[in-house]
């Protein structure tokens, strides 16, 4: 039998847009141990030791919510050079806009041929008058993860000392014998 919450993200922090108010709202999202373990599985890393994200939310016209966030996370990563685990720290500022789902679909119809601005804020569609700050923090973590993590003290082996004989070296020797 399936659990009702199987489709919820690993870090679920819903907030009703109506609770933001005209002056804005500050909101803190912190992951507990079970959420950290689930996030580590999702990200494909050995461990998330801790994650917190501070948001400042501002309500804009048409139900758009500007979210300015500060993500802090402690992770265990595997070094691509030594294959050893090491602790890494992520500290990242970001901005996203939560946009009502109907407005996103409308914009996509209008902007089929438009050029995307890489400097513009990412837009996250929402429905039902509720945004998910936990999922926004998890997505931001996924975006900032280094795909090739290295320990700070990791050094590549010297190519000259470990250079293997070229597969074409045998051909060169044969050519010289002729």
Q: Is 83 a member of any domain?
A: yes
pLDDT tens digits for range 4-27:
456 788 999 999 999 998 899 999
Q: Is 4 a member of any domain?
A: no
- CA dist 141 and 136 (Å) reads 9
Q: Is 2 a member of any domain?
A: no
Q: Is 159 a member of any domain?
A: yes
Q: How many domains does the chain have?
A: 1
Q: Is 8 a member of any domain?
A: no
Q: Is 6 a member of any domain?
A: no
Q: Is 45 a member of any domain?
A: yes
Place 1 in a pLDDT band, splitting at 50, 70 and 90. very low
Q: Which residue has the higher pLDDT, 172 or 163?
A: 172
Q: Is 94 a member of any domain?
A: yes
pLDDT tens digits for range 114-160:
556 677 788 999 999 999 999 999 999 999 999 999 998 888 776 54
User: Residue 156: CB partners within 8 Å, gap ≥ 6?
Assistant: 81
In which domain, by residue range, is 75 found?
14-177
């Amino acid at each position: 039998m399936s659990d009702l919450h199987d489709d919820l993200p690993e870090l679920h922090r819903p907030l009703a847009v109506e609770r933001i108010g005209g002056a804005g709202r500050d909101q803190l999202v912190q992951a507990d141990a079970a959420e950290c373990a689930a996030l580590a599985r999702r990200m494909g890393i050995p461990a998330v030791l801790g994650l917190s994200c501070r948001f400042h939310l501002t309500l804009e016209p048409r139900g758009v919510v500007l979210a300015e966030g500060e993500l802090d996370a402690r992770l265990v990563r595997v070094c691509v050079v030594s294959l050893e685990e090491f602790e890494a720290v992520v500290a990242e500022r970001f901005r996203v806009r939560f946009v009502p789902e109907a407005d996103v679909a409308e914009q996509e119809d209008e902007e089929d041929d438009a050029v995307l601005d890489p400097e513009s804020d990412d837009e996250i569609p929402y429905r039902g008058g509720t945004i998910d700050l936990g999922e926004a923090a998890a997505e931001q973590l996924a975006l900032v993860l280094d795909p090739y993590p290295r320990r700070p003290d990791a050094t590549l082996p010297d190519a000259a000392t470990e250079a293997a004989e070229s597969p074409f070296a045998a051909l060169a020797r044969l050519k010289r014998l002729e």
